[in-house]
Amino acid sequence: MAEVRVAKSAGFCYGVERAVKLAEETAREKGGCAMLGSIIHNVHVVAELEALGARQVDSVEEVRPGETVIIRSHGERKEVFDRLEQLGSVCVNATCPNVLRIQQLVAQADREGRIPLIIGEPRHPEVMGVASWSDRSVIFPGPEELEKWLLQEPSRQSLSLTAVAQTTCIRTIWETSKEILKKLCTNAKIFDTICSATHRRQLEAAELAAQADVMVVVGDRKSANTKHLAEICRKACPVVYQIEQAGELTTGFLSGCTMAGLTAGASTPAGIIKEVYTTMSEEIKNMEPQEESFEELLD
Ligand code: F3S
């Protein structure tokens, strides 16, 4: 009989949970506040917070003087904190502690005169925020770009470097970057800053995908960690659906399937995962041969 298996680590991580809780508490206590950018990559959660009086603003210039501002789990650029201070805003910093640590490592590298190297997506808000803690930061999407940059640098052996990873970086990208760095540079401090919750989620997704005929990955399309999960699953499973909600699954999508796997990104609420699970289970139930009634057997 066909079945649906759910990855244990699917859904909210503690950093996102903490940020949403802080935003909820602040909105209730203050009777409203501003959320700078999407507090998490999930339109449903953002809508719930807006209903509590938390208004979303896209730029620091939209913040009203003296207003309480929630900083999302991805963190923010240093200049944003400086501007909020100028505006006299009360800042509730919901930056995930893992991201905060990377910001501190970059700031420390800067104080020590080292060049911070960040392996991550250059346009991702977490990476842009982390990079802003030093004017010398250089961002590399992957090992190829890092190797090219190092080979162009004649004094690379003696360069003082500090390497960190985006919290949701794919582990193989980080490991290869680390090997290149160790081979080409003798003065690099290397900090593995991939979030353990992300790592666990990626491992479980890969294991589940290797056994499944079909994988469903749930999460906001803008979410980097959801995108990475789908990429990882595609390497091990022939059919992968990346969706935001159950309504995107069409009838028959599990036909011929004996085991379907389900996982979700760090910003996917449990309620959405449950809906997707229910849709998948119903689909499987409908695939099972229905028992014929006594009258049908006589026909
Ligand atoms: Fe933090 Fe890791 Fe979540 S970095 S926001 S606990 S995915």
In percent, how much of the chain has pLDDT > 90?
76
Ligand 1 neighbourhood includes 266 CB (under 6 angstroms): yes
Q: Give the model's pLDDT for residue 66.
A: 87
Round to whole Å and give the CA distance between 64 and 109: 34
What pLDDT does residue 299 have? 54
What is the structure's pLDDT at 26?
95
Asked if residues 145 and 77 have their Cβ atoms less than 8 Å apart, the reply is no
- Across the chain, mean pLDDT equals 92
The answer to whether residue 168 scores a pLDDT higher than 60 is yes
pLDDT digits over 233-262, tens only?
Answer: 999 999 999 999 999 999 999 998 999 999
Q: In Å, what is the CA distance from 91 to each residue of 4, 56, 125, 230?
A: 43, 15, 18, 35
Residue 287's pLDDT band, with cuts at 50, 70 and 90, is confident
Distance 156 CA to ligand 1 centre (A): 32
* CA 48 – CA 152 distance, rounded (Å): 50
Q: Minimal CA–CA distance to 168: which of 197, 194, 206, 205?
A: 194
Asked if residue 65 has pLDDT above 90, the reply is no
Q: Is 153 a catalytic residue?
A: no
| CA 155/CA 162 separation, integer angstroms | 16
Which numbered atom of ligand 1 lies nearest the CA of 14? 6
Residue type, 15: G
Judge whether residue 32 has pLDDT over 60: yes
Is the pLDDT assigned to residue 222 strictly greater than 80? Answer: yes
Q: What does the pLDDT read at residue 264?
A: 96
Count of residues making up the chain: 299
Q: Which of 67, 76, 121, 126 is catalytic?
A: 126
- Identify which has the larger pLDDT, 147 or 153: 147
Cite the DSSP H helix spans in the chain.
Answer: 14-30, 43-51, 78-86, 97-111, 125-131, 143-152, 171-184, 196-211, 224-236, 270-287, 294-298
Burial class (CB in 10 A: 0-12, 13-18, 19+), 213: middle
Predicted pLDDT of residue 225: 87
Q: What are phi and psi of 83, to 5 degrees?
A: -65, -40
Q: Looking at this predicted complex, what is its ipTM? A: 0.98
CB of 16 closer than 6 angstroms to any ligand 1 atom: yes
pLDDT score for 41: 76
Q: What is the mean pLDDT of residues 1-26?
A: 92
Indicate the SS3 state at residue 119: strand
- β partners of residue 72: none
Buried b / exposed e over 236-270, threshold 16 CB at 10 Å, is bbebbbbbbebeebeeebbeebebbbbbbbbbbbe
Please tell me if the CB atom of residue 109 comes closer than 6 angstroms to any atom of ligand 1: no
Testing ligand 1's pocket by substitution, the residue of 22, 40, 96, 168 carrying the most ligand atoms inside 8 A of its CB is 96
Phi, psi of 260 (to 5 degrees): -115, 135
Atom of ligand 1 nearest to the CA of 96: 1
Residue 167 Cβ contacting ligand 1 at under 6 Å: yes
pLDDT single digits (tens) 200-220 = 999 999 999 999 999 999 998
Q: Which of 43, 48, 87 is nearest to 69 (CA)?
A: 87
Each residue's pLDDT tens digit, 105-136:
999 999 999 999 999 999 999 999 999 999 99
| Residue of the CA atom closest to atom 1 of ligand 1 | 15
93 Cβ contact list (under 8 Å, min separation 6): 71
